[in-house]
Amino acid sequence: MKFSFVNKKDAKSEEIKEKLINKVKCSIDEQNPDVVVTIGGDGTVLDAVCKYVDQLETILFVTIHTGNLGFYTEFLPKDIDLIGDLLKNGNTVYHTYPLLELKINHNKYYGLNEVTLFHNRHLLETDVYINDEFLMQTRSNGVCISTPTGSTAYNKSLGGAVMDHEVEAFQLTLIAPFETINTRMISPIVLSKGNKITIKPLTENVEVSYDRNYLQRIDLKEIEITLSNKKVKFVKNRGHSLTSKLKDKFIG
Ligand code: NAP
Ligand code: MN
């Protein structure tokens, strides 16, 4: 098996990487890995998925957290022996999470957490369509469309619902909506896979983010967002349910 590591550059993450290399005796292939090990936080996981977004079908991710518990990170540094055994025996069970697919001017981009459309200075006006049918005009700081796993990230801060990670759906929320008697908006909205959201900005020079990436001040007529067939596979730690993650991170 060929491995690649995407890790934070701090001493602790480097040390875990060395320990795991010794334990599994793996060969490193950064171009065509079978297993990608992330060491860091959820942000590190997003970077790794972005780096290998064209090879997700053949890659298994092992996600180790070095700080506080995360949502994508299944393992802690103390689990190195367990990870080594799982990988050696090929005895892995994994979570499969969908990405969002966004289409802009015939280009495709992918996000594991969310896509946002926003304007830094002006109130952003957009027309929102679902399956090419007009739904509403929005006035806000931005529009956020989140995956089930992204629902605990930006989406949650926007008053969106936390979603079961296994639900094949995506969710639209608004960033600081400016509602008046003339602009009525509904949000959050959860749609099942197969639906398409089209957002047409009426304001110029919008910016688009997808996870940690940005497209700045682009000439954009419309952006189409669907739940992609592209999926990521994260090796599962059996003792690590969504409920326990929610409790550990948000309830305490
Ligand atoms: P960051 O500045 O490090 O902050 C993002 C925080 O969200 C980090 O604590 C990160 O965890 C956590 N996070 C990432 N994905 C998550 C998930 N699916 N569920 C729960 N928590 C999650 O930003 P970053 O590391 O570059 O990550 C980019 C993400 O930041 C975006 O995808 C967006 O979701 C989020 N964001 C949130 C807001 C907001 O809530 N107001 C605004 C902008 C962006 P780790 O510390 O483990 O990396
Ligand atoms: Mn981060």
How many angstroms separate the CA atoms of 132 and 215, rounded?
24
Which ligand is closest to the CA of 111, given by its number?
1
Q: Are residues 106 and 207 in the same domain?
A: yes
CA of 186 relative to ligand 2 center, distance in Å: 30
Q: Are residues 242 and 210 in the same domain?
A: no
Q: Are residues 73 and 190 in the same domain?
A: no
CATH number, domain of 55, equals 3.40.50.10330
Q: Are residues 80 and 165 in the same domain?
A: no
Taking only the tens place, the pLDDT of each residue in 177-189 is: 999 988 889 999 9
CATH number, domain of 222, equals 2.60.200.30
Closest C-alpha among 88, 89, 69, 86 to residue 77: 69
Q: Are residues 167 and 45 in the same domain?
A: no
What are the structure tokens assigned to 28, written together?
Answer: 């490193």
Q: Are residues 177 and 85 in the same domain?
A: no
Exposure string of 145-166, with b = 16+ CB inside 10 Å and e = fewer, is: bbbbbbbbbbbbebebeebebe
Other Cβ atoms within 10 Å of 203 Cβ, number: 15
Taking only the tens place, the pLDDT of each residue in 148-170 is: 999 999 999 999 999 999 899 99
Residue 89: domain span: 2-93+236-251
Per-residue pLDDT of the chain (252 residues; tens, 9 = 90+): 899 999 998 999 999 999 998 888 888 999 999 999 999 999 999 999 999 999 999 999 999 999 777 899 999 999 999 888 888 777 788 999 999 999 999 999 999 999 999 998 899 999 999 999 999 999 999 999 999 999 999 999 999 999 999 899 999 999 999 999 888 899 999 999 999 999 999 999 999 999 999 998 888 999 999 999 999 999 998 777 899 999 988 998
Q: Are residues 134 and 77 in the same domain?
A: no
Strands 27-28 and 2-7: what pairing? parallel
Pocket of ligand 1 (CB under 6 A): 41-43, 46, 70-71, 113-114, 149-150, 152-154, 157, 211-212
Q: What is the dihedral of CA 32, 27, 42, 148, to 10 degrees?
A: 50
If one counts the domains in the chain, the total is 2
Q: Are residues 245 and 163 in the same domain?
A: no
Query: How many CA atoms lie within 13 Å of 8's alpha carbon, on the beta-carbon side?
Result: 17
How many angstroms separate the CA atoms of 101 and 246, rounded?
26
- The protein residue whose alpha carbon is closest to atom 38 in ligand 1 is 154
Q: Are residues 157 and 247 in the same domain?
A: no
The model's pTM: 0.96
Which ligand is closest to the CA of 38, given by its number?
1
Contact 146, 107 (CB under 8 A): no
Q: Are residues 171 and 243 in the same domain?
A: no
Q: Are residues 88 and 103 in the same domain?
A: no
Q: Are residues 39 and 133 in the same domain?
A: no
Of 13, 151, 154, best ligand 1 pocket probe by most atoms within 8 Å of the beta carbon:
154
How many angstroms separate the CA atoms of 6 and 23, rounded?
17
